[in-house]
Chains A and B, each alone.
Chain A
Amino acid sequence: MAVSIAPNPANQEVQRMADVDSAVKEAVVEALALDDDEVTPDSTLMDDLGAESIDLLDILFRIEKSTGVKIEASDLGDYMQGGIPDDEFSDENEVITEKGAEHLNKVMPQTNPSDVAGSLKAEEVITLFTVQNLADMVKARADGAGA
């Protein structure tokens, strides 16, 4: 008697997440012409791996090709800010507020809100963005969530 085993949705989800992680890493490695072992989930794209704006665009195009998830470079700011109005995300000196820092901790869990609030400038947030943060953004986009 033939036995059919239904796919386990939990296992499929784990596999999908792993596929996205892999696709993002491959895009980073190829766009920046790095060795595979130079790129870890915790690597920051700009500071650790030396990505510039043109590289970021290249990475996003490669991710779009391999996963079908379209992300524009300007979307990164929306993702990191999470719909919080400018004057609530950062103060008049463009320094991240407590509210901004709390949101950043959700999309960039490696950031510590108490370290970020009142000291990190909005323009510096991108320097903390890691390979894993990008993979998480791709997954959120694939799920239809903004941030």
Chain B
Amino acid sequence: MPTAPAPDLKLRIGIDAVGVERLRRLVDGHDEARERLFTAAELDYCSGKRREYEHMAARFAAKEAVLKAFGTGISQRMRWTEVEVVNERSGRPRIVLDGAVAAFAERHGLRDLDVSLTHTQDLAVAQATTLWERRAGCAST
């Protein structure tokens, strides 16, 4: 039977879907796109893989899903490279935050964050789940 988060915590989820071909056109069409969207480690992970663009699209979807779960967005002075998808040895993805995104998480009481990715030849989808401290007068928690 599902259990609700503790009363002092609040759950927020975010989901995003990215077309693989749309992502491919962007990164192949603009020289700087890869570096603006992905960290060096993410590019290393995707580079040379047979399904390179699917992996990139899944990572971009994860970044968007995380920002949606935060109730914010890239327009609010956050960079995509500040949400990094790293892979555990098991292959399970894990999110590492940096910069303005990490500061936002700290300021608003992020307690836990998990992400799940999937992709086909055409579409990548990511869902992020976040757990926040519930703070008086703060809508994001």
| Residue ranges of A at the interface with B (Cβ–Cβ < 8 Å) | 53-54, 56-58, 61, 65, 72-74, 76-78, 80-81, 92-94, 121-123, 125-126, 129
CA distance A58 to B72 in the complex (A): 20
Check A92 against B137 for contact (C-beta < 8 Å).
Answer: yes
The segment from B3-11, B75-83, B125-133 found at the interface with A is B75-83
Query: Closest residue of chain B to A31, judged by CB?
Result: B26
The 8 Å CB contact of B26, one of A54, A73, A122, is A54
Residues of A within 8 A of B137 (CB): 92-93
CA distance A133 to B57 in the complex (A): 29
Query: Closest residue of chain A to B79, judged by CB?
Result: A74
**A79, chain B: closest CB distance, angstroms:** 10
Check B79 against A57 for contact (C-beta < 8 Å).
Answer: no
Check B74 against A58 for contact (C-beta < 8 Å).
Answer: no
CA distance A68 to B49 in the complex (A): 34
Residues of B within 8 A of A73 (CB): 74-75, 79-80
Interface of A is mostly: helix
26 A-B pairs with C-beta separation under 8 A: A53-B64, A53-B74, A54-B18, A54-B22, A54-B23, A54-B60, A56-B74, A56-B75, A57-B26, A57-B33, A58-B29, A58-B30, A61-B29, A61-B30, A72-B36, A73-B74, A73-B79, A74-B74, A74-B78, A76-B75, A81-B77, A93-B138, A93-B139, A94-B71, A122-B76, A123-B76
Check A94 against B140 for contact (C-beta < 8 Å).
Answer: yes
Check A57 against B29 for contact (C-beta < 8 Å).
Answer: no
**A74, chain B: closest CB distance, angstroms:** 5
Q: Does B109 contact A (CB under 8 A)?
A: no
